């Protein structure tokens, strides 16, 4: 019988040291909604699990000046009740809340969703659209990593041994900003995205788009930041032509797989449709945030 | 094999147990504390049969390690009735025959109680979404939803 060691440190430094110094595989634990399933099915066999939920920096939501900082292990249930984040970045909160059931929401977190490394993670395209940056702690100190750079392949991260995502920092959006995330699944609830699209945009006083970001999920080996999507919107009034260009940019960025949930052709098409629809929701929110 | 000593509270009672690093909260409740009202269905967080509350938040006990319970307040189906007096949800489930085989029932009751504490006046759609993580293969859900909506009205004094 194996013996799994469990630690629940109360500081980031202790968590990093435990993970970095471990013999054999050590895994950080946030909400555990992926990790516990992987343990049960022997998909992973760590010798050490380090629970991060006793560390205040991973469980806090704070607003400092122009930055909103969300701890990496804050649950969907908690984040959904946070007015500062839901009003600033409703698309990010909606994306996290799409994951699983009420029970899953009691534990699932942005950090866990990102660091599980799935190309189809729902919250990741929304975080990319929001321009979220990870505060990463590790044995060689702290660094900042844009969310779009964290996942390097299915289940693969750019984090080194002992490195953990402590929190996500998002800018407080300027006036006339909005974001949205949409995903396609073949049922109403609780499924893995066939395609996911997150859009964030800002308008000037004349209604011209001055800033935009498009994130896509489940259409490539990693979630994508689609810079051509932003270019399609910036400088326009987000009219039909601009939205058509956005959809074309989204479809062109796709490099998906064929599987039982969707063919390549279907995913490419739906990525454009969802990017356009998410942009329309973000636009509506930007117009009402004047 | 190393065992961890965990001090927690279960249904308001101070509780201590020993568990291994691998044991889930569900394993601990059923095998160490003999609280077998919490059921194991899928053991992968899909079916909701092991629904419990941790510090008031609804979770699947199969997706949490026993060691994580240190210092937390756990609520299970065994804490729902007040002695011999059933909780109104339990009474209404019987009244409406909102169960057949019964294995999903403790999870539904714990989840429905959490719903009504968070939202005493849910729409039927809200109740169905809240309970979407609880699977029942017997009833077709209709009687369960009806029992929850009836109890919600009763608790609001309607």
Structure tokens at A174: 């300027």
Q: What are phi and psi of A64, to 5 degrees?
A: -125, 110
- Domain limits at A157? 57-171
If one counts the domains in chain A, the total is 3
Cβ contacts of A53 on chain B, cutoff 8 Å: 68
CATH at A124 = 3.30.465.10
In this complex, do A4 and B129 lie within 8 Å of one another by their Cβ atoms?
A: no
The residue ranges of chain A whose pLDDT is under 50 are: 1
Round to whole Å and give the CA distance between B131 and B49: 11
Whether residues A214 and A185 share a domain: the answer is yes
CATH at A36 = 3.30.43
Mutate to test the interface with A, among B28, B63, B76 (most CBs of A within 10 A): B63
pLDDT tens track for A4-40: 999 999 999 999 999 999 988 999 999 999 999 999 9
Whether residues B110 and B61 share a domain: the answer is no
- A39 CB within 8 Å of a chain B CB: yes
In this complex, do B132 and A189 lie within 8 Å of one another by their Cβ atoms?
A: yes
Whether residues B48 and B98 share a domain: the answer is no
Looking at CA atoms only, how far is residue B99 from chain A in angstroms? 21
If one counts the domains in chain B, the total is 2
Cβ contacts of B19 on chain A, cutoff 8 Å: none
Are B56 and B15 in contact by the 8 Å Cβ rule? The answer is: no
pLDDT at residue number B105: 98
Task: Among B28, B55, B79, give the residue marking a domain's end.
Answer: B79
In this complex, do B21 and A3 lie within 8 Å of one another by their Cβ atoms?
A: yes
Q: Would you tell me how many other CB atoms lie within 10 Å of the CB of residue A64?
A: 9
Q: What is the pLDDT along chain B (158 residues), one digit of tens a residue?
A: 679 999 999 999 999 999 999 999 999 999 999 999 999 999 999 999 999 999 999 999 999 999 999 999 999 999 999 999 999 999 999 999 999 999 999 999 999 999 999 999 999 999 999 999 999 999 999 999 999 999 999 999 99
pLDDT at residue number A24: 86
Whether residues B8 and B75 share a domain: the answer is yes
CATH at B101 = 1.10.150.120
Alpha carbon of B47 to those of A28, A40, B41, B121: distances in Å?
Answer: 25, 16, 6, 25
- Domain limits at B15? 4-79
- HEC string of chain A equals CCCCEEECCCCHHHHHHHHHHCCCCEEEECCCCCHHHHHHCCCCCCCEEEECCCCHHHHCEEEECCEEEEECCCEHHHHCCCHHHHHHCHHHHHHHHCCCCHHHHCCCEHHHHHHCCCCCCCHHHHHHHHCCEEEEEECCEEEEEEHHHCEEECCEECCCCCCEEEEEEEECCCCCEEEEEEEECCCCCCCCCCEEEEEEEEECCCCCEEEEEEEEECCCCCCEECHHHHHHHCCCCCCHHHHHHHHHHHHHHCCCCCECCECHHHHHHHHHHHHHHHHHHHHHHHHHCC
- B114 CB within 8 Å of a chain A CB: yes
Closest CB to B45: pick one of A8, A29, A33.
Answer: A33
Task: Among A156, A171, A186, give the residue marking a domain's end.
Answer: A171
Please state the ipTM of this predicted complex.
Answer: 0.96
pLDDT at residue number A23: 87
Cβ contacts of B62 on chain A, cutoff 8 Å: 36, 40
In this complex, do B44 and A37 lie within 8 Å of one another by their Cβ atoms?
A: yes
Task: Among A125, A147, A171, give the residue marking a domain's end.
Answer: A171
Closest CB to A49: pick one of B21, B54, B130.
Answer: B21
pLDDT tens track for B84-93: 999 999 999 9
pLDDT at residue number A189: 76
Whether residues B119 and B72 share a domain: the answer is no
Task: Among B62, B79, B96, give the residue marking a domain's end.
Answer: B79
Looking at CA atoms only, how far is residue B42 from chain A in angstroms? 10
Whether residues B75 and B46 share a domain: the answer is yes
Whether residues A61 and A167 share a domain: the answer is yes
Closest CB to A101: pick one of B65, B70, B132.
Answer: B132
- A80 CB within 8 Å of a chain B CB: no
CATH at A182 = 3.30.390.50
């Amino acid at each position: 019988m194996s013996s799994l060691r469990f630690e629940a440190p109360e500081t980031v430094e202790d968590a990093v040291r435990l993970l970095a110094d471990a013999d054999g595989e050590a895994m950080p634990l946030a909400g555990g909604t992926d990790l516990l399933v992987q343990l049960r099915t022997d998909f992973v066999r760590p010798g050490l699990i380090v629970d991060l939920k006793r560390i205040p920096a991973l469980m806090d939501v704070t607003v400092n000046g122009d930055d909103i900082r969300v701890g990496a292990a804050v649950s969907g249930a908690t984040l959904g009740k946070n007015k500062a984040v839901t009003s600033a970045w409703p698309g990010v909160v909606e994306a996290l809340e799409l994951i699983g059931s009420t029970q899953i929401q009691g534990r699932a977190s942005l950090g866990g969703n990102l660091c599980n490394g799935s190309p189809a993670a729902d919250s990741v395209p929304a975080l990319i659209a929001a321009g979220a940056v990870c505060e990463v702690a590790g044995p060689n100190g702290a660094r900042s990593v844009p969310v779009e750079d964290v996942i390097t392949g299915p289940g693969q991260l750019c984090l080194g041994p002992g490195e953990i995502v402590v929190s996500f920092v998002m800018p407080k959006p300027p006036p006339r900003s909005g974001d949205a995330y949409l995903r396609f699944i073949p049922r109403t609830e609780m499924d893995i995205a066939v395609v996911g699209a997150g859009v964030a945009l800002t308008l000037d006083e004349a209604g011209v788009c001055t800033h935009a970001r498009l994130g896509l999920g489940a259409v490539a080996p990693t979630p994508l930041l689609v810079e051509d999507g932003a270019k399609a919107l910036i400088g326009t009034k987000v009219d039909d032509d601009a939205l058509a260009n956005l959809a074309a940019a989204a479809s062109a960025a796709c490099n998906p797989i064929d599987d039982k949930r969707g063919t390549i052709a279907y995913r490419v098409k739906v990525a454009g449709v969802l990017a356009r629809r998410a942009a329309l929701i973000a636009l509506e929110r930007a117009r009402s945030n004047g | 094999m190393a065992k961890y000593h965990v001090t927690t509270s279960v249904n308001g009672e101070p509780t201590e147990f020993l568990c291994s690093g691998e044991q889930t909260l569900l394993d601990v409740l059923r095998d160490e504390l003999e609280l077998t009202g919490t059921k194991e269905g899928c053991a992968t967080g899909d079916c909701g049969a092991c629904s419990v509350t941790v510090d008031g938040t609804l979770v699947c006990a199969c997706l949490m390690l026993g060691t994580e319970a240190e210092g937390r307040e756990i609520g299970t189906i065994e804490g729902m009735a007040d002695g011999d007096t059933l909780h109104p949800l339990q009474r209404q489930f019987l009244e409406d025959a909102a169960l057949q085989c019964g294995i999903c029932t403790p999870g539904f009751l714990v989840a429905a109680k959490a719903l009504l504490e968070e939202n005493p006046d849910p729409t039927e759609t809200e109740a169905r979404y809240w309970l979407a993580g609880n699977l029942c293969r017997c009833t077709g859900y209709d009687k369960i939803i009806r029992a929850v909506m009836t109890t919600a009205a009763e608790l609001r004094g309607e």
